[in-house]
């Protein structure tokens, strides 16, 4: 039932969240014939108002340097994300309205986007398949738990997702990074091609164009990327994947899809039989309390938000939260960690000729540590590299003395060529990394906030040492000038915006929250279809895998609902 209306509406399913996973669940369920209500905590985005990829600095009030007072007041956490600036701050939450807490000695950066589309407007679009190096990692090194399915089980859903959203990439034939249903790859820059030549010849590591959800050719009615290279600011042409332009329209076309925006879900409503009857939400603007009734509840609100909703869904039957009967909910939080800052100048590419416009794609070196016979005795799991080389856009002019015609000639004659790269490593799932509800603090809508308790462990620090050594070796091999060594510190947990876990899958209810199809062990009509279900997090970005898992869960929901089992 939607409060405020005069008629009772009980939907087949309610989907909480409209981002990467929620969009796929809505598309699959409506195409299977189910009536779906989607509730989203934030407002819709209007391209003519909110997209700024073609806005020049002189068109902005602060010329792109931002209003620091506003960011410090309203978005002190969000502004630490590179994409939260004068151009794109609208895609990120107000931290004052959406607080959270953490121990002073264990900082956590929670970057969030509450709007129709979630974070799919400003994600980095990196789209990688996991392999059985991830899904069956515990069988390889003895740590933790295997996923309750294999790569072979998920492969058809990777195919489905890639074929529909469009992912550009090159086929490499690597076991640790399976190939997919790719559009033509983007071209590497001159600097990346030079790095490819040096790294492959000296280290034997594959260097490839990044695999990204940007279209290199027209695809399903959407035009190819025009390489403005400002993807974090929105995209008028929908040439990269975001749910409002790709999956949600497919759901709308079925005639069985309803969207309610500005609906902040507080908890799942549980009936006397222990099953879910829908969700309770609060109007973001008016603060009115309302209910949405459905036979099935699918949480796709993002990893920590979905877990927060479950923890807040307390009843006499579930005093510690829905799905938390064995105390596992909230535990095994993971992110990625990065070693950043490595780079310098490529002297052989200094030129007076401008390189063609860049692309939203750099190079990728897949993981090699602990792959095949390449075992490292100091740590388990692995890491990968990414980077790019590119010309300065006359930024070097600030360091060149002079003025007038001679100054302009000096600037044009010696355009330096910069190079930068980083390494990203896998964070192990550990029980002691967890989230719980803060007993004192509430958000702007009166909902208890999360207390996040997470830090890096010994394995991460051992892996980081090897990552730095490899980065230094690559920089030395490239013979860079003005070389910047890799940083000594690990990135703060949460900074990479790849948080996963806290409601993990498994076959044993004593050690997991969900079954192999994302269904709660505690309630057969409640599903969690976002990154909360992850058992491991690899060293690769999780979004493509999140979408594939969501599509798989939706197929299971539709079939079980048809059979009358939900």
> Mind listing the pLDDT tens digit for each residue in 19-45?
999 999 999 999 999 999 999 999 999
- Neighbouring C-beta atoms of residue 544, cutoff 10 Å: 25
CA atoms within 13 A on the CB side of 326: 15
pLDDT tens, position by position, 462-516 = 999 999 999 999 999 999 999 999 999 999 999 999 999 999 999 999 999 999 9
Going by C-beta distance under 8 Å and a sequence separation of 6 or more, which residues neighbour residue 350?
Answer: 414, 415, 416, 417
**DSSP percent split of the chain into helix, strand, coil, nearest 5:** 30, 20, 50
Unique residue bearing structure tokens 């609208």: 90
CA distance 549 to 515: 12
* Burial class of residue 526, CB neighbours in 10 A (0-12, 13-18, 19+): buried
**418: β partners:** 345, 390
State the Cα–Cα distance between residues 101 and 109, nearest whole angstrom.
Answer: 10
pLDDT of 7 strictly over 60? no
Nearest to 377 by CA among 462, 291, 294: 462
- C-alpha radius of gyration, the chain, whole number: 24
Tokens matching residue 165: 């959203």
Asked if residue 328 lies in contact with residue 506, where contact means CB atoms within 8 angstroms, the answer is no
CB-count burial class (<10 Å; 0-12, 13-18, 19+) for 355? middle
DSSP β-ladder status, 10-16 and 36-39: parallel
Per-residue pLDDT band at 61 (split at 50, 70, 90): confident
Question: Quick check: helix, strand or coil at residue 398?
Answer: helix
- Cβ neighbors of 101 (< 8 A, separation 6 or more) are 438, 441, 449, 450, 451, 452
Q: Which tens digits make up the pLDDT trace of 506-548?
A: 999 999 999 999 999 999 999 999 999 999 999 999 999 999 9
Per domain, the residue ranges of the chain are 1-125+241-331+435-454+502-566, 167-240+336-426+456-492
Q: Inform me whether the pLDDT recorded for 2 exceeds 60.
A: no
For 187-232, what is each residue's pLDDT tens digit? 999 999 999 999 999 999 999 999 999 999 999 999 999 998 889 9
pLDDT tens, position by position, 91-131: 999 999 999 999 999 999 999 999 999 999 999 999 999 99
Strands (E), 6-46: 10-16, 36-39
Q: Is the pLDDT of residue 60 over 90?
A: no
List Cβ neighbours of 50 (8 Å cut-off, separation of 6 or more). 90, 91, 234
Q: Which residue has the tokens 């010849």?
A: 201
pTM tops 0.85, yes or no: yes
CATH superfamily of 1-125+241-331+435-454+502-566: FAD/NAD(P)-binding domain (3.50.50.60)
Which of 60-64, 77-81, 132-136 has the lowest average pLDDT? 60-64
Whole-angstrom distance, CA of residue 385 vs CA of residue 279: 42
Position 59 pLDDT exceeds 90:
no
Q: What is the tens place of the pLDDT at every residue in 327-358?
A: 999 999 999 999 999 999 999 998 767 776 67
Q: Please give the angle made by the CA atoms of 339, 489 and 431, to the nearest 5 degrees.
A: 90
CB 336 within 8 A of CB 425: yes
Close Cβ partners of 107 (under 8 Å, ≥ 6 residues apart): 492, 493
């Amino acid at each position: 039932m939607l409060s405020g209306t005069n008629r009772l509406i009980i939907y087949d399913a309610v989907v909480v969240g409209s981002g990467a996973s929620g969009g796929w669940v809505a598309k699959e369920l409506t195409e299977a014939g189910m009536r779906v209500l989607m509730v989203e905590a934030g407002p819709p985005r209007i391209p003519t108002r909110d997209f700024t990829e073609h806005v020049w600095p002189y068109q902005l009030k602060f010329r792109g340097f931002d209003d620091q007072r506003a960011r410090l007041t309203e978005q002190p956490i969000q502004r630490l994300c590179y994409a939260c600036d004068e151009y794109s701050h609208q895609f990120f939450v107000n931290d004052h309205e959406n607080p959270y807490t953490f121990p002073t000695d264990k900082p956590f950066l929670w970057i969030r986007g509450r709007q129709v589309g979630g974070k799919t407007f400003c994600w980095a679009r990196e789209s990688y398949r996991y392999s059985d190096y991830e899904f069956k990692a515990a069988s390889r090194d003895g740590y933790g738990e295997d996923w309750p399915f294999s790569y072979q089980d998920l492969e058809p859903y990777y195919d489905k997702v890639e074929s529909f959203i469009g992912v550009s990439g090159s086929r490499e034939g690597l076991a640790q990074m399976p190939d997919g249903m790719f559009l033509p790859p983007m071209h590497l820059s001159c600097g990346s091609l030079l790095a490819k030549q040096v790294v492959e010849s000296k280290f034997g590591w594959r260097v490839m164009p990044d695999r990204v959800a940007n279209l290199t050719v027209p695809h399903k009615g959407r035009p190819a990327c025009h390489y403005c290279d400002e993807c974090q600011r929105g995209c008028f042409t929908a040439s990269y994947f975001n749910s409002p332009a790709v999956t949600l329209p497919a759901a709308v076309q079925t005639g069985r899809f309803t969207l309610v925006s500005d609906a902040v879900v507080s908890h799942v409503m549980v009936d006397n039989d222990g099953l879910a009857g829908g969700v309770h939400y609060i109007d973001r603007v008016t603060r009115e309390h309302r209910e949405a009734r459905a036979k099935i509840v699918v949480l796709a609100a993002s990893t920590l938000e979905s877990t927060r909703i479950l923890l807040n869904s307390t009843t006499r039957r579930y005093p510690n939260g829905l799905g938390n009967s064995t105390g596992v909910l909230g535990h095994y939080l993971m992110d990625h960690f990065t070693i950043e800052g490595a780079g310098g100048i490529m002297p052989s590419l200094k030129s007076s000729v401008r390189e063609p416009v860049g692309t939203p794609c750099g190079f990728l070196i897949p993981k090699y540590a602990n792959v095949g016979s390449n075992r490292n005795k100091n740590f388990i799991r692995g890491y990968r590299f990414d980077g790019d080389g590119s010309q300065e856009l006359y930024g070097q002019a600030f360091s060149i003395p002079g003025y007038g015609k001679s100054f302009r000639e000096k600037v044009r004659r010696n355009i330096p060529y910069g190079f930068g790269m980083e390494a990203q490593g896998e964070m192990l799932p550990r029980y002691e990394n967890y989230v719980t509800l803060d007993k004192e603090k509430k958000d702007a809508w009166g909902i208890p906030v999360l207390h996040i308790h997470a830090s890096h462990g010994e394995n991460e620090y051992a892996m980081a040492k090897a990552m730095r050594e490899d980065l230094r070796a690559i920089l030395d091999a490239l013979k860079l000038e003005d070389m910047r060594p890799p940083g000594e510190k690990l990135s703060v947990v949460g900074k990479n915006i790849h948080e996963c876990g806290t409601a993990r899958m498994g076959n044993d209810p004593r050690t997991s929250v969900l079954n192999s199809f994302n269904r709660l062990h505690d309630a057969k009509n409640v599903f969690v279809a976002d990154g909360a279900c992850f058992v491991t997090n690899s060293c690769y970005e999780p979004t493509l895998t999140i979408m594939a898992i969501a599509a798989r869960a939706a197929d299971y929901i539709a079939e079980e609902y048809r059979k009358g089992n939900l």
